[in-house]
Amino acid sequence: MAHFAELDENNFVKQVIVINNNELLDEQGNESEAKGVAFCQTLFGGNWVQTSYNAHFRKHFATAGSFYNSELDIFSTAKDYPSWILDEETYTWIPPISKPDSGLWVWNEETVSWQEYEGE
């Protein structure tokens, strides 16, 4: 099965769908992303990019809310909080302040800091 991500006008992933690998086959029987994109566009319209469930290509598996960087041809994970920054080695979003090593901590976006978890 092949996975394709639908992108919005800002390259954020709207949804990911699964299609049969047969829809990717060209005239010589080779898989073609372009064939898969055309199949998705015929069914749903929109802008589509193939994603790898095992992250064999494009760095991360696309999920709703993740971002497609067309210059680098990769997906980055969804941004958890507005203050978090993109780690350009892993293409994951990280807090601007490192989490303390011991204890249970939760991120507080209002104060842009870690707060010790006090339970319910």
Structural domain boundaries in the chain: 1-78, 81-120
- pTM (predicted TM-score): 0.76
Q: What is the pLDDT of residues 14-69, one digit of tens each?
A: 999 999 999 999 999 999 999 999 999 999 999 999 999 998 999 999 999 899 99
Task: Indicate whether 97 pLDDT > 90.
Answer: yes
Query: Strands 105-108 and 13-19: what pairing?
Result: unpaired
Tell me the C-alpha to C-alpha distance, in Å, between residue 54 and each of 5, 18, 78.
Answer: 14, 14, 17
How far apart are the C-alpha atoms of 81 and 104, rounded to whole Å? 19
pLDDT at 61: 95
